[in-house]
């Protein structure tokens, strides 16, 4: 187990903000995870589990405890019968690299989730989703270390309590450390073209898995900043979910707001609210701002601070709230 002290957290998140971690421990196997938990317990320090840092922002104060960085790697095909494949992937594997590898093996389903940064262990936490697909549709089980009961556990898909950008791992923060994820993938390619932008781009084409992945990558590259060049954590806020009555009130004032039915509610485009109602697209506050190509994405131009980001978040939140009564909720984890 490699223990570092006073480690800059900027270098471990894609938003590139934040002070230092008192301790930063990289764990390459389960044993090291247990040792890191013991280390934090002995020192009576809080623990934070970090994957690729693409959905996490640390404040300028940093983290006073132990940041446990999951770097457990490995991909194993457990079963490949009939038209399905069961694949066990360790939590530290890079998410997009895993999709590529799965496709090379002829295992499909995850193409719409291409190019999402982060690790395999981070994916179930907020049940990542894009272009009509959520990762929960392909998860068979998740193996965790339960820090409360000090034991290893296996969660079935139902146990994970997946929802829109949430799961039991997000609800019970810091309790479960995901060690590996078992996926059930398809050997017969059946593209999900439910998202209208994708259907439009691929209209009339012979859709192969490679073409679908390339299309997703091209759309994402057009719309989103490259986090290697510009600090970002992707979509900053969740799309609010409103009741039929709330939607009625909103549409009476803003008839153009895009929305679509989701279970017994309606999901409203947070990006639209920020761009057309709060008029914040492209706005800068110090070193941070709202991305000029996509209003749901906040960016760090290089020297931004958490204090500046907080000012920006509050301004967006108040403007949207004042005009619509809607309270935006961050999708990103602020630690
Ligand atoms: C440019 C960009 C585009 C993005 N696009 C999308 C998108 O289309 N859809 C989408 O859903 N998300 C998107 N995201 C958000 C992010 O990439 C995903 O949420 C990703 O799955 C986070 O993984 P991570 O390993 O980086 O998690 P981290 O940021 O390291 O952690 C996120 C949360 O998960 C917890 N966590 C991480 N690993 C573990 C583990 N092994 N065990 C227990 N808890 C853990 C952390 O404690 C934290 O609470 C985007 C981000 C960026 C920067």
Please work out whether the CB of residue 300 comes within 6 Å of at least one atom of ligand 1.
no
Q: Is 53 in the pocket of ligand 1 (CB under 6 A)?
A: yes
Q: What ligand 1 atom has the least distance to the C-alpha of 224?
A: 1
Task: Verify whether ligand 1 is closer than 6 Å to residue 117 (CB atom).
Answer: yes
Question: Using a 6 Å cutoff on CB, does residue 178 contact ligand 1?
Answer: yes
Mean pLDDT of 99-116: 97
- What's the CA gap between 236 and 314, in Å, rounded? 13
CB 161 within 8 A of CB 167: yes
Predicted confidence (pLDDT) at residue 80 exceeds the cutoff of 80: no
| pLDDT one-digit tens code per residue, 4-36 | 999 999 999 999 999 999 999 999 999 999 999
Report pLDDT digits (tens) over 29-48. 999 999 999 999 999 999 99
Q: What is the CATH number of domain 75-223?
A: 3.30.465.10
Closest atom of ligand 1 relative to the 226 alpha carbon: 1
Q: Which of 118, 228, 335 to mutate to test the pocket of ligand 1 (most atoms within 8 A of CB)?
A: 118
Place of tokens 């039991």: 168
Cα separation, 236 vs 232, in Å, equals 9
Whether 333 has a pLDDT exceeding 90, the answer reads yes
Q: Report the nearest-CA residue for atom 34 of ligand 1.
A: 122
Q: Look up tokens 């978040």; give the residue.
A: 313
Task: Look at residue 128 in the predicted model and tell me its pLDDT.
Answer: 97
Tell me which residues are annotated as active site: 165, 235, 331
DSSP string computed for 238-299: PPPEE-HHHHHHHHHH-TT--EEEETTEEEE-HHHIIIIIS--TT-EETTEEE-TT-TTEEE
Tell me the CATH class for 2-70.
alpha beta
End-to-end CA distance of the chain: 24
Rounded to an integer, what distance in angstroms lies between the CA atom of residue 239 and that of residue 320?
A: 12
The listed CATH number (3.40.50.720, 3.90.78.10, 3.40.50.970, 3.20.20.10) that belongs to domain 231-334: 3.90.78.10
pLDDT digits 0-9 by tens, 242-278? 999 999 999 999 999 998 888 889 999 999 999 999 9
Enumerate the H helices of the chain as residue ranges: 30-43, 95-105, 168-171, 196-202, 209-223, 244-253, 270-272, 306-324
Taking only the tens place, the pLDDT of each residue in 297-306 is 999 998 899 9
Ligand 1 pocket, residue 123 CB under 6 Å: yes
Top mutation candidate among 17, 49, 55, 221 for ligand 1, by most atoms within 8 Å of CB: 55
Structure confidence at residue 81 (pLDDT): 75
31: left (phi over 0), alpha (psi -120 to 50) or beta: alpha
**Buried residues in 293-302 as b, exposed as e (16+ CB within 10 A):** ebbbbbbbee
Q: How crowded is residue 272: how many other Cβ atoms within 10 Å of its Cβ?
A: 18
Domain borders along the chain are 2-70, 75-223, 231-334
């Amino acid at each position: 187990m490699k223990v570092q002290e006073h480690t800059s957290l900027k270098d471990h998140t894609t938003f590139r903000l934040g002070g230092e971690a008192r301790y930063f421990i990289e764990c390459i196997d389960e044993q090291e995870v247990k040792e890191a938990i013991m280390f934090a317990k002995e020192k009576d320090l809080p623990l934070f589990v970090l994957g690729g840092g693409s959905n996490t922002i640390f404040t300028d104060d940093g983290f006073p405890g132990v940041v446990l960085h999951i770097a457990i790697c490995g991909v194993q095909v457990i079963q490949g019968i009939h038209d399905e494949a069961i694949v066990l992937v360790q939590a530290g594997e890079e998410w997009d690299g895993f999709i590529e590898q799965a496709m090379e093996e002829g295992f499909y389903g995850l193409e719409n989730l291409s190019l999402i940064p982060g690790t395999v262990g981070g994916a179930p936490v907020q049940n990542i989703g894009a272009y009509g697909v959520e990762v929960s549709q392909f998860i068979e089980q998740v193996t965790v270390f339960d820090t409360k009961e000090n034991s290893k556990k296996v969660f079935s898909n139902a146990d994970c309590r997946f929802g829109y950008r949430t799961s039991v791992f997000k609800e019970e923060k810091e309790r479960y450390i995901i060690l590996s994820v078992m996926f059930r993938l398809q050997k017969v390619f059946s593209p999900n073209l439910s998202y209208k932008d994708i259907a439009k781009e691929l209209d009339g084409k012979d859709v192969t898995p490679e073409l679908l992945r390339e299309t997703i990558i091209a759309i994402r590259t057009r719309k989103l900043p490259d986090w290697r060049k510009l600090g970002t954590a992707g979509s900053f806020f969740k799309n609010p979910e409103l009741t039929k009555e709330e939607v009625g009130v909103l549409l009476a004032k803003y008839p153009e707001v895009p929305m679509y039915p989701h279970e017994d509610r309606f999901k409203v485009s947070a990006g639209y609210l920020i761009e057309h109602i709060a008029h914040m697209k492209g706005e800068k506050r110090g070193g941070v701002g709202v991305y000029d190509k996509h209003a749901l994405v906040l960016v760090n131009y290089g020297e931004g601070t958490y204090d500046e980001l907080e000012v920006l978040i509050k301004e967006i939140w108040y403007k949207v709230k004042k005009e619509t009564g809607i309270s935006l909720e961050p999708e990103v984890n602020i630690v």
